[in-house]
């Protein structure tokens, strides 16, 4: 029995096991897609139901192996929020597909596809980097909101008579600023007022440069910086020296 955690750790730490789980996830996703077809549901409904049950069983066995690998303290499995995420998906998948839990059960089946994120190391790193970027990105959003507000008010006073359709109110002006920020046909938006206000191109070009080429690049810089930090941390050896726990993560 003492060797059981070691064996479980080797299994879940093996590359072949990762590929197997990924294949099961993709097969489950395919079955979910087929379940949306009335013809496929009518012809293969029983097989699809059996396949979904097998997928859930595989996920349960995966979680059990990961917990076993952490013996004699299996609850350390829940210290990793990715494991908590996977375990939540398992619980949702166990809900009955009929009755009051039908919608939650269908959502649980669909969320099984997201298990692919926790199973592929590269995807985990990207999602972790995005989550770490949220606080810094929040400040950039505040900066963008201030910038859009200032330009919207300015645009309203400058262009409400020349182009009331896009600048006739603060709300319309704000929507126009969002259009400019995404570069969605912004040239046409500019030319509609430049014909009457020649210097208006300075307004549009300055906002595009500030919003698109400066502020939006800050988003990219923050995310890339956090992604590099996450990669460096993932490459560092564990300080705890618990090789089995690392292998089974």
Nearest to 10 by CA among 241, 240, 246, 235: 246
Domain with CATH 1.20.120.350 in the chain: 4-119
CA distance 45 to 50: 9
Name the CATH architecture for the domain at 125-235. Orthogonal Bundle (1.10)
pLDDT of residue 155: 92
The answer to whether the CB of 51 falls within 8 A of the CB of 45 is no
pLDDT tens per residue across span 38-97: 888 888 888 888 988 898 899 899 999 999 988 888 888 898 888 888 888 888 777 776
Q: For 167-217, what is each residue's pLDDT tens digit?
A: 999 999 999 998 888 888 888 889 889 888 888 899 999 998 888 777 778
Region 132-136 average pLDDT: 82
Task: Please list the residue range(s) of the chain that carry CATH number 1.10.287.70.
Answer: 125-235
pTM above 0.85, yes or no: no
Is a pLDDT exceeding 90 seen at residue 102? no
| Range 4-119: architecture per CATH | Up-down Bundle (1.20)
Q: How far apart are the C-alpha atoms of 84 and 115, rounded to whole Å? A: 11
């Amino acid at each position: 029995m003492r060797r059981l955690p070691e064996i479980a750790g080797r299994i879940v730490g093996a590359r072949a096991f990762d590929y197997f789980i990924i294949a099961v996830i993709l097969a489950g996703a395919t079955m979910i897609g087929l379940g949306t077809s009335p013809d496929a549901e009518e012809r293969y409904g029983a097989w699809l139901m059996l396949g979904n049950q097998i997928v859930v069983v595989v996920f349960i066995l995966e979680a059990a192996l990961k917990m076993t690998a952490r013996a004699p303290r299996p609850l350390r499995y829940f210290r990793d929020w990715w494991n908590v995420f996977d375990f939540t998906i398992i619980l949702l998948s166990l809900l009955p597909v009929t009755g009051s839990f039908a919608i939650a059960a269908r959502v649980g089946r669909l969320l099984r596809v997201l298990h692919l994120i926790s199973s592929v190391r590269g995807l985990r790193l990207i999602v972790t980097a995005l989550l770490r970027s949220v606080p810094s990105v929040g400040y950039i959003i505040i900066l963008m909101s201030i910038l859009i507000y200032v330009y919207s008010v300015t645009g309203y006073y400058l262009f409400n008579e020349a182009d009331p359709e896009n600048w006739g109110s603060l709300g319309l002006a704000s929507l126009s600023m969002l259009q400019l920020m995404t570069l969605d046909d912004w040239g046409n938006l500019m030319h509609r007022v430049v014909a009457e206000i020649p210097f208006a191109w300075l307004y549009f070009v300055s906002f595009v440069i500030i919003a698109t080429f400066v502020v939006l690049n800050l988003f990219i810089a923050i995310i890339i910086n956090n992604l590099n930090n996450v990669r460096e941390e993932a490459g560092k050896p564990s300080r705890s020296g618990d090789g089995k726990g690392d292998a089974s993560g």
